[in-house]
Structure 1
Amino acid sequence: MKKKFNTYLPAIDYKATKKEVEKTFEEYRMYLVTLPSDFLPKITPSYSQLPPSFTNEFHSSTEDAAIERIEFENARQRFINRIHEAVNSLKQDERFIIIKSFMDKDIGYDPDIYLELGIGKTRYYEIKGEAMLRLAFDLQIEVYKKKNEVKSA
């Protein structure tokens, strides 16, 4: 008697996965253009009615802001590098589409991009969908359908 293997692979929810990739690129663009002002040190004096404590700990809002900013910058740089590595792992046409669609300073429109690539509309959307799916797997942000959704679909 042959042994049957359980080869259940969860089904991908393509719409939700696409939204996750788009959200990730929105976050990417925000990281490129912003640095929150709450990471800046306070420049106004603050007074307290509590007596100062004389311990070995030195506590300064400037130091706290500097540490917080460094941690933010490190997290920001790791995130941006992760996006760049994922995009660089794509095929040439996929990379071109993703860069033009999400990463350029001026985001391109789909018709302009597929005309620039010299391919048809249908093929363009196939390539873009494959690229977004690859990115979702590389970035580990893919979304799976629940078991009860798979049976009914």
Structure 2
Amino acid sequence: MQFSSDVENMFTQEEIEDILKDEQYFYIEHAEKNWLNRYFKIKAIANETKVPSIISSISDMPHGSSNFKKSKTEMFAIKTIQASEWLEILHSTIHSLSPIEQKLIELKYLRKRNDGSRYSDEVIYPQLFVGKTRYYEIKKEALEILGRHLYGVFAERGFS
């Protein structure tokens, strides 16, 4: 208890609110930039059916050597599997949100119009039966939750 009271005395209420706001913005940006904005690209990789050229290469280099080339087929398979895992993690995280947050994320980030662009917020909030102000509150909260849950995922594997 002493520690928290010491911390409270170190910062003003305004400074604490600024820190929390910066943290919230960080997670929102992470969810959008690293996950939702990449959704369609990763989905295309996961669903790609093109088979790379199957040409074997023979090398006298040991398998652990940095000059050893992995086969194109192997690299393609690994990339497809990683993309599928990425999508599975994103979808399961989205399903952990409330139903209205799930619907908002789906309409805003996981669907596109016929011309390939995203739906605007003005088109989405009436579909959710909420006002504009409430829509932006829900959107901010959903993105922050996604960012917090997805932060650090795949970092240990180096998948990008």
User: Same fold judged by TM-score > 0.5?
Assistant: yes
Normalised TM-score (structure 1): 0.67
Q: Tell which deviates more after alignment, 75-84 or 27-36.
A: 27-36
TM-score by length of 2: 0.65
Between 1:129-138 and 1:16-25, the stretch displaced more is 16-25
Q: Residue type of the partner of 2:120? A: Y
Equivalent residue for 1:18?
A: 28
Matched, 1:98 2:105: yes
Q: Residues 84-120 of structure 1, C-alpha deviation per residue, up to 9 Å, x if partnerless?
A: 0110000011001000000114332111111111111
Greater relative CO, 1 or 2 (CA 8 Å, sep 6+): 1
Percent of paired sites with the same residue: 25
SS at match of 2:2: coil
SS in 1 for 2:73: helix
Match of 2:2 in 1: 4
Structure label with greater radius of gyration:
1
Contact 2:107/2:124 (<8 A) preserved:
yes
**1:78 aligned onto 2:88:** no
Structure 2 stretches lacking a partner, 5+ long? 8-15, 64-68, 153-160
SS in 1 for 2:3: coil
TM-fit CA distance, 1:135:
0.5
Alpha carbons of 1:55 and 1:125: their partners in 2 closer, same or farther (altered >3 Å)?
closer
Residues 12 and 71 of structure 1: is their aligned pair in 2 closer, same or farther, counting only changes over 3 Å? Answer: farther
Give ranges in structure 1 of 5+ residues lacking alignment.
47-51, 142-153
Instruction: State the Cα distance separating 1:56 from its structure 2 match.
Output: 10
Q: Kindly report the root-mean-square deviation, in angstroms, between the aligned alpha carbons of the 2 structures.
A: 3.2
Indicate the residue corresponding to 2:10 in structure 1. Answer: none
8 Å contact kept, 2:43–2:84: no
Write the distance in 1 (CA, Å) between the matches of 2:138 and 2:59: 63
Pick aligned residue for 2:143 from 132, 143, 148: 132
